[in-house]
Amino acid sequence: MTDVTLDPTKRGYWTSDQDVRWCPGCGDYGILAAMQFLYADLAADPDTEVSKENTVFVSGIGCAARFPYYMNTYGMHTIHGRAPAIASGLAAARPDLDIWVVGGDGDMLSIGGNHLIHALRRNVNMKILLFNNQIYGLTKGQYSPTSEVGKVTKSTPMGSIDAPFNPLSVAIGAGATFVARTHDLDRKHMMATFKRAHEHRGASFIEIYQNCNVFNDGAFDAVTKRAARDEMMIDLVHGEPITFGAESQRGIVVDNGTAEIVEIADVDSSRLLVHDEGRDDPSLAFALGQLAHDRQSPTPFGVFRQVERPEYTDGVTNQLLAANEQQGPGDLHALLHSGATWDVN
Amino acid sequence: MTDTADRLDAQSIQGVVIRFAGDSGDGMQLTGDRFTSASALAGNDLVTLPEFPAEIRAPQGTLAGVSAFQVHISDHDIHTPGDEPDVLVAMNPAALMSQLGRLKSGGTIILNTDAFDERNLEKCGYEVDPRDNGTLDDYIVHEVPMTSLTLGAVEELDVKKRDAERSKNFFALGLISWMYTRPLEPTIEWVNEKFAKVQTVVDANVMALKAGHAFGETTEMFGDQYEVAAAPNEPGTYTNITGNVATSWGMVAAGQLAKLPVFLGSYPITPASDILHELSRHKNFGVRTFQAEDEIAAAGAALGAAFGGHLAYTTTSGPGVALKGETIGLATSMELPMVIIDVQRGGPSTGLPTKTEASDLFLALYGRHGESPLPVVAAYSPSNCFDMAIEASRLALKYRTPVIYLTDGYLANGAEPWKLPDVDSLPDISVSFTTEPNGDNGEFLPYLRDEIGSRPWAIPGTAGLEHRVGGLEKANVTGNVEYDPDNHGLMTDLRQAKIDGIANDIPLAEVDAVDGAKILLVGWGSTWGSIKAATERLREAGTPTDRVHITHLNPFPSNLGDILRAYDHVIVPELNKGQLIQILRGKYLVDAKGVNKVKGLPFTGGEVVEAVESIVAGTSQGVSL
Ligand code: SF4
């Protein structure tokens, strides 16, 4: 038998020797598997170059943030909310690395919201995975910034009164150049989405609907359970009219900036929205993101937006090169003598 | 222009303390800075004390808006910006009112009389013109209509009156330059460069400067000219340097000496921002500067860069250190090198952003949760900031630890002549990355320590050494997550022992000693100059006094306890309410007495002398100024 830990095209090669410590049944397992399988696939793909020494997973705090321990790559498990900032520094220092940031909704949208939006606005070359389970898991069940209004938790016995964030709206509003959504029950979809993010140059943001079966079980069942998928999941395909439903009988029109679900039979087909990821103006992507305003209505999945914008670490590198060209290579003696000097004999 | 005849006539003096004061829009910092540069080029020893309001433009003409720059120039080695100015240049009534109390009795005042109108007098609360009611009787007063003379001088230029008036600080500079026989050429050269984009501004400033100089020469008002000769300095090439620039150059140098790229994560904050500005100009050294979204991100980005193998810094002031605490704790746990530079300012909270204080020592030593020891070093003079930046970097790299390096507002903005070091004489602080597995079975053990307790630094991109680091407690040697109680105790001890061991790797404390001294002054940070000046005065007055200045505050030099125990009186002057003294008393059980000042200003030498005398006489158990 060959040793899978020696074959990059096998999942085992990308799996660390640490015991995974999520609760049995947690959606995180599926996401981890998708990532490990993806890297096995990427290693097998002659057009892609990946290596475990050049790959780094950076996380904050929370259940999701344990992710780096389980990938047989370099990894940093840091502090609550700060992973995008720490990863930005790593990326700016080491643009050669393949960097992923992993965190939950509390980590990335509450304590670390500031770092998330700034990493996206700068367009730092890294892939940001937001495991959205709409609850604080590691601290045992308080409502999170993505929990629905009225949510009863240990810290909100009378129901939450906070309006939740829509993670995609936050990302699009922050100027993210790659924005996508996937969910923990569909490994193939996750792998395909992660792969797209991996190919993108700049900051990629992926919201993953993730089930916390201990504190918020079934939060996404109405949308992602197999039986519901046909009617509730809207598959976004670039260049094609957006349709869904068992008979592909429903579509989307945008009216006055608002995306609406329609029965295709009821509208002129020219009005049906054709998905265009590459549209520079983010308003359509934003409208699509707003479509799933609760967890009970049809929800788009896939890549909402993928546009080209100057990437941050390229800017860093270019300035270093330009400075070198304009000022010549650094000369410490010259630097120390660059002010007015005088001699004492 | 200063010609030889002038110079022969000039009366030679040993030194002078000049204080330029005016509205924050009057350009007093620039005036002081230019006079300082010209004096530095003349070879004087010098120390400066810039003082400016936190507001960019406080209401014009008010006391709150006064900006001042004190410079002490001398023909011999000096250590302080001077206790009391000899000369006060006051550009408006508010400047006179707020600064007069500092002036030496019998000192010289040069007033811009054009600014002494009713409105300005009223704005700062003068009910009567101080020139008329005897307030200034104890001083030599020169009344000069600087604004109108400046307007006259630039008349031929096509500039608006308001713009022309702005050159009056150059008039003042020209006049002072004449009084102290300073050549105008360096200033003219500087003006040409600085304002190159607008020729009229160059012309107006140069004309005003020359007019001020000519005014001194042609009116009989001022009597003698003075000359401060060059200080006998060691041979070498000198430059005038501020602490923030010295720190910045130290960081660039450390990168070169460590053969590592430099990464700075920073967020703008007074008085540290100039380091970010300065480093941003030196990208040709491979220096990366990252202006983060906040203080936490600035520290985080630095830590990320450190993981990636860069020499990582974050620069800030006290409020920023408070925010970075959790990240610094993470760095102590991950055992990665980084340097946190705290340019201290008055606190608590926003406090006095532009004023100096040394009240972050406890914060530096203890400002993290858990047992999280780290080395702390402090610079003692503007030029020493260069050396301490390198030293902090050396310790961080060698011991894979965050290091806090303390300076303060006084060092940061203050200037002194600096004998430039020979680049080849600077220490090699390079360390090696780990590139091979270190375990017996070919595995990589990220927490297997070397003989000084440092763990391997293996950076991403190194095949075979893939590993994960984090803030959870790690098993000794393997670095895997581990909650075992005994392991936690062991790891806590190992981290502490590593930092304690640094005591063997730093210079012993050196006492500046004289025969028969029973008094020891112990200082740290920017009080060096004041304490040195006080020590010399005490000795001159017949009280043999010794002095030790601590640059390494954690761990302390290993001989410090023995030094302290050898004196009858151990006195610790600090610009805080007694932080070092508490540690010394606790650690070495010595009955040290404190001299403390928290007023946003450095000690004067005189304050320290008086405090020491009263403590030694037994009339005081400690002095709070
Ligand atoms: S608490 Fe919830 S999110 Fe956390 S590991 Fe358990 S199931 Fe997963």
Pairing mode of beta strands B140-144, A258-263:
unpaired
> A228 to each of A225, B145, B507, how far by Cα in Å?
5, 87, 72
Judge contact between B228 and B397, C-beta under 8 A: no
> B551 to each of B244, B530, B531, B554, B589, how far by Cα in Å?
17, 16, 14, 9, 21
* Cα distance between residue B582 and residue B58, in whole Å: 39
Q: Which letter, b or e, does each residue of B28-59 get, where b requires 16 or more Cβ atoms within 10 Å of its Cβ? A: bbbbbbbbbbbbbbbbbbbbbbbbbbeeeebe
How far does residue A138's CA lie from ligand 1's centre (Å)? Answer: 7
pLDDT tens figures, B198-237: 999 999 999 999 999 999 988 877 778 898 998 888 899 9
Lowest mean pLDDT among A102-111, A292-301, B428-437, B457-466: A292-301
Residue nearest to atom 5 of ligand 1 (CA): A22
Mean pLDDT confidence for A19-31:
96
How far does residue A42's CA lie from ligand 1's centre (Å)? Answer: 28
Pocket test for ligand 1, best of A140, A214, A220 (most atoms within 8 A of CB): A214
* Amino acid B9: pLDDT: 65
Helix residue ranges, H only, B154-280: 161-165, 168-179, 185-194, 199-218, 243-258, 273-280
CA B163 to chain centre: 33
**Domain limits, chain A:** 11-237+277-283+294-313
Q: Which pairs with CB-CB distance under 8 Å and at least 24 residues apart come from A284-287?
A: A284/A254, A284/A259, A285/A172, A285/A179, A286/A169, A286/A172, A286/A173, A287/A254, A287/A257, A287/A258, A287/A259
Does ligand 1 lie within 6 Å of residue A133's CB atom? Answer: yes
Helix residue ranges, H only, B42-145: 93-99, 118-124
Mean pLDDT confidence for A1-11:
82
Which is more confident, A1 or B135? Answer: B135
- Residue B255 to chain A, least CA–CA distance (Å): 10
| Ligand 1: nearest atom to the Cα of A104 | 3
Residue-averaged pLDDT of chain A: 96
Residues in B closer than 8 angstroms to A69, CB to CB, are: 468, 470, 481
CA B538 to chain centre: 26
- Segment 261-300 of chain A within 8 Å of chain B by CB: none
User: Does B174 touch chain A if contact means CB atoms closer than 8 Å?
Assistant: no
- Residue B612 to chain A, least CA–CA distance (Å): 37
Judge contact between B416 and B275, C-beta under 8 A: no
- A93/B235 CB distance under 8 A: no
Per-residue DSSP letter, A111: I
Residues in A closer than 8 angstroms to B469, CB to CB, are: 75-77
Q: Which residues contact B279 (CB under 8 A, 6 or more apart)?
A: B248, B251, B252, B262, B264, B287, B289
Q: Quick check: bond before A95 cis, omega within 30? A: no
Q: Give me B541's structure tokens.
A: 């007055």
- Segment 339-368 of chain B within 8 Å of chain A by CB: none
Per-residue DSSP letter, A242: -
- Segment 64-93 of chain A within 8 Å of chain B by CB: 68-69, 72-79, 82, 85-93
pLDDT tens figures, A190-220: 999 999 999 999 999 999 999 999 999 999 9
Pairing mode of beta strands B15-23, B66-74:
antiparallel
- A344/B234 CB distance under 8 A: yes
- Segment 318-337 of chain A within 8 Å of chain B by CB: 319-320, 322-324, 326-330, 332-333, 335-337
What ipTM is given for this predicted complex?
0.97
Residues in A closer than 8 angstroms to B284, CB to CB, are: 320, 323-324, 326-330
Extract the residue ranges of chain B whose pLDDT is less than 50.
Answer: 1-8
Does ligand 1 lie within 6 Å of residue A20's CB atom? Answer: no
Task: State the pTM of this model.
Answer: 0.94
- B304/A324 CB distance under 8 A: no
* Cα distance between residue A265 and residue B245, in whole Å: 72
User: Does B460 touch chain A if contact means CB atoms closer than 8 Å?
Assistant: yes
Burial group, residue A316, by CB count within 10 angstroms (0-12, 13-18, 19+): buried
pLDDT category at A296 given cuts 50, 70, 90 is confident
Q: What domains can be seen in chain B, in order of their start residue?
A: 4-228 (3.40.920.10), 239-419 (3.40.50.970), 432-505 (no CATH), 511-624 (3.40.50.920)
Q: Which residues contact A51 (CB under 8 A, 6 or more apart)?
A: A8, B463
pLDDT category at A2 given cuts 50, 70, 90 is low
Question: Which residue is closest to B295 within chain A, CA to CA?
Answer: A85
Diameter of chain A by CA atoms? 95
As a whole number of Å, the CA-based R_g of chain A is 23
Q: What is the DSSP string of A11-27?
A: GGGGB-SSPP-SPTT-T
Pocket test for ligand 1, best of A70, A212, A216, A220 (most atoms within 8 A of CB): A212
* Amino acid A344: pLDDT: 87
- Segment 480-499 of chain B within 8 Å of chain A by CB: 480-481
* Cα distance between residue B553 and residue B564, in whole Å: 15
Burial group, residue B73, by CB count within 10 angstroms (0-12, 13-18, 19+): buried
Q: Which of A93, A45, A92, A100 is nearest to A71 (CA)?
A: A100
User: Does A97 touch chain B if contact means CB atoms closer than 8 Å?
Assistant: yes
Does ligand 1 lie within 6 Å of residue A98's CB atom? Answer: no
* Cα distance between residue A181 and residue A191, in whole Å: 12
Residues in A closer than 8 angstroms to B310, CB to CB, are: 93
Q: Is B81 helix (H, G, I), strand (E, B) or coil?
A: coil
- The helix or strand, by DSSP H or E, that contains position A302, with its residue range, turns out to be strand A299-306
> B91 to each of A209, B139, B206, B262, how far by Cα in Å?
67, 17, 19, 44
Backbone angles phi, psi at B159, to 5 degrees: -125, 150
Q: What is the CATH class of A11-237+277-283+294-313?
A: alpha beta
